[in-house]
Amino acid sequence: MGTSTFAERLNQIYHEVAKAAHGVGRAPEDITLIGVSKRKPVEEMQQAYDAGLRDFGENRAQEVRDKFPGFNPDGIVRHFIGHLQSNKVKYLPDRVDIIHTIDSTRIADAVDQRFGAQNLTIPVLVEINISGEANKEGVEPAQAMELAAYCAEKPNLQFQGLMTIGPLTSDAARIRRAFREMMLLSEQVVKQVGTSGKTAILSMGMSSDFKIAIEEGATHLRVGTALFGAREY
């Protein structure tokens, strides 16, 4: 990431978000930037918070367990954005504020039961495999309505919208088509199922494609590398 500070990188991303939003007549303040802090220590997350970031995304339930609620400064929103296994749901209550990756009735049931056991409710998004890639999680678009309705009926889940990961390609036209399909699907699902929030969430767009996502209607962006730099694995 060179010698730039986190604050400089954050301000640059905010500038790019605003430019993309204004280009299609959208208000930048209607778009939430989630900093993907997976594999980043709490010290770096604190630096991000000090620079103004308030939304943090984690991919692994074990990291959620280890980082939160120890890192919980005022005003943050903790997003779980990774693939979720039933036996790891136990790590999430009191440690996340929204789950982006409900991809089956089994996971919906597990989350509903675990949060309900602690008298908690949790906002959730249904993950869609919009590109049809075999290595991607999420339900097929044709299953979106059914799973969204299933989540909406669960007493401890608050269905709030959809999430996807764009196609793994440098073909901007292909990415745009996928995101446009997601926007249309989101409109259909929200019209029929409704959401518990004031506005429906459409979580799509990462470091390489968030500008296209904004142009196609994303409300939440999940940006990691462009903010935190490359991760060590």
Per-residue model confidence (pLDDT) at position 201:
98
Distances (CA, A) of 72 to 10, 38, 40, 55, 115: 20, 16, 15, 11, 19
* pLDDT, tens digit, 9 for 90 and up, residues 137-183: 999 999 999 999 999 999 999 999 999 999 999 999 999 999 999 99
Strand partners, 56: 35, 78
Angle, CA 147 vertex, CA 172 and CA 141 arms, to 5°: 30
- In this predicted model, what pLDDT tens digit does every residue of 68-116 receive, in sequence order? 988 999 999 999 999 999 999 999 999 999 999 999 999 999 999 999 9
Tell me what pLDDT residue 230 has.
Answer: 76
Is the CATH number 3.40.50.300 carried by domain 6-228? no
pLDDT per position as a tens digit, 18-39: 999 999 999 999 999 999 999 9
d(CA 10, CA 48): 8
Name, in order, each residue with C-beta under 8 angstroms of 232's C-beta and a sequence gap of 6 or more.
39
User: Is the Cβ–Cβ distance between 15 and 23 less than 8 Å?
Assistant: no
Residue 233 has pLDDT above 60, yes or no: no
End-to-end CA distance of the chain: 17
Q: Judge whether 211 and 23 are in contact, CB under 8 Å.
A: no
Is pLDDT above 50 for 1?
no
Give the residue-averaged pLDDT of 199-225. Answer: 97
- Tokens 């597990």 belong to which residue? 110
Residue 2 has pLDDT above 60, yes or no: no
Nearest one of 187, 193, 196 to 155, comparing CA atoms: 196
pLDDT of amino acid 207: 95
The answer on pLDDT for 232 being more than 80 is no
Contacts of the segment 138-143: beta carbons below 8 A, 24+ positions apart: 138/101, 138/103, 138/163, 138/164, 138/165, 139/103, 139/104, 141/181, 141/185
Q: What is the mean pLDDT of residues 38-62?
A: 95
Residue 196 pLDDT: 85
73 vs 88: CA distance, rounded Å: 24
Give the start-to-end residue ranges of the domains of the chain. Answer: 6-228
Q: What pLDDT, on a 0 to 100 scale, did the predictor assign at position 231?
A: 66
